[in-house]
Amino acid sequence: MFETIASLLERGSLAPHGICLLWRPELIWTHVIADLIIGTAYFSIPVALGVFVTRRRDVAFGWIFWAFAIFILACGTTHFFSIWTLWVPDYGAEALVKAATAIVSLATAILLWPLLPRLLALPSPEQLRQANAELVARIQERDEALEALRQANAERDRAEEMLRQTQKMDAIGALTGGVAHDFNNLLGVVIANLDRVDRAVPDDSRVKRSVQNAVSGAERAAGLVQKMLAFARRQPLQASRVEPNRLIGDLSELLRGALGGGTSPRMDLADDLWAVSVDANQLESVLLNLAVNARDAMPNGGTLTIRTQNLPAAEAAAIPELPAFDHVAIEVVDTGCGMSETVAARAFEPFFTTKAVGQGTGLGLSQVFGFAKQSGGHVTLASTVGTGTTVRLYLPRYREEPKRDAAPAGATLNDIAARIMPSPQLASARLSIA
């Protein structure tokens, strides 16, 4: 075997290929330049294939690229041997290189043909684009579904929070109303007996002054009870036809005094405003209460605006807490320090206050809430820290010949009891007479 290879590589009896070309320079150099360019290209192509397969490990059937790289590299070597044999007759070595190239090319072809159906089964770029577009559409649908689910969950959480808040307020209202009713009866007894003591004692200035102080304290306690009854919707209301614009105009001086500093509230009153069916005295008390709250929220000064407008039934229907009939909206807007979301959410709770101890009972806004509900309306509060607060009071429009004895639709036992419960002042007067 070694002798055969040695004889194959023996070149002493052979002439270089250039002799066949008669050493004509134009032929020699044409072959040299052409084979050099082809060989160089053949050597560069496997390098490019190797870099591609190495960096793109996700390419299917990467091994076939390496087979082509070896095949092309062997072909390039045969072209370089063609240049060499122009001057050196190493035809045996050239034959061995060509034999190796033949083996590599045959192996590559054998491997390629069975692989061809699998290669054809690979998706085309257009198919990949369509699949990608479909995937993007499905992802978008999923994101939209997730967003809709998130909104539904948020809406459910808000509804549950509103339900919990309503249940809590109803429980607090029931407790407050019961305590206030019993406490009111006790205050009536106290005031009546103080009145008897005042009439029975001799003209002793110290005793009379003590009795008067006790009566004054009891009357202040009765006023506090009245606020508690207002929140619990158990205060007696005498609903009548009230023109809000006129009532606000008549109340302007008192509002100015409540604000202090000689500042008058700005009025933005709608023309042709409907009349409302409410207790005028209680409405005045509510507006004064809101003015005092606005004043406390503006320690460095500011602007209080009272705005009125008609709210037709179609617009009222958009507010879940309002029945679908005509209302009048009264807004009290201040430019004070505002409230945080946490504070605003508890603003209507009784005895909740952000003021220092001894500076407020925490019943002001709860009284507003109770009055609005007992009057068949609603109240909302919107506030932003550093910007101000807006309290919006919705009151039912006055209707001709109202059925005063009939309980309104959806009336609670508290609302019905409010029609027959005597006022604290009347109860005190009866006890005093007795």
pLDDT band at 135, cuts 50/70/90?
very high
Assess whether 399 and 250 both reside in one domain. yes
Q: 191 in a domain, yes or no?
A: no
Q: Greater confidence, 209 or 172?
A: 209
pLDDT the model gives residue 147: 92
Average pLDDT across the chain, whole number = 78
CATH for 324: 3.30.565.10
Q: 79 in a domain, yes or no?
A: yes
What's the mean pLDDT in 52-64? 84
Q: 99 in a domain, yes or no?
A: yes
Assess whether 263 and 118 both reside in one domain. no
Q: Greater confidence, 349 or 245?
A: 245
Percentage above 90 pLDDT, the chain: 19
What's the mean pLDDT in 132-154? 92
Assess whether 248 and 114 both reside in one domain. no
At residue 429, does pLDDT exceed 70? no
- Asked whether the whole model's pTM tops 0.75, one would answer no
**Last residue of one domain, picked from the residues 122, 142, 165:** 122
pLDDT the model gives residue 146: 92
Q: 264 in a domain, yes or no?
A: yes
At residue 431, does pLDDT exceed 70? no
- Tens of pLDDT, residue by residue over 368-409, are 888 888 888 888 999 988 889 999 999 999 887 545 544 444
Segment among 235-239, 284-288, 333-337 with least mean pLDDT: 235-239
Q: 213 in a domain, yes or no?
A: no
Q: 300 in a domain, yes or no?
A: yes
Percentage above 70 pLDDT, the chain: 74
How many structural domains comprise the chain? 2
- Tens of pLDDT, residue by residue over 312-366, are 988 888 888 888 889 999 999 998 888 888 888 777 776 666 655 445 554 567 7
Q: 420 in a domain, yes or no?
A: no
- Tens of pLDDT, residue by residue over 76-106, are 999 998 999 889 888 888 888 888 999 988 9
pLDDT the model gives residue 126: 86
Domain of 61 in residue numbering reads as: 2-122
Q: 28 in a domain, yes or no?
A: yes
Round to whole Å and give the CA distance between 195 and 307.
Answer: 45
What's the mean pLDDT in 161-177? 67
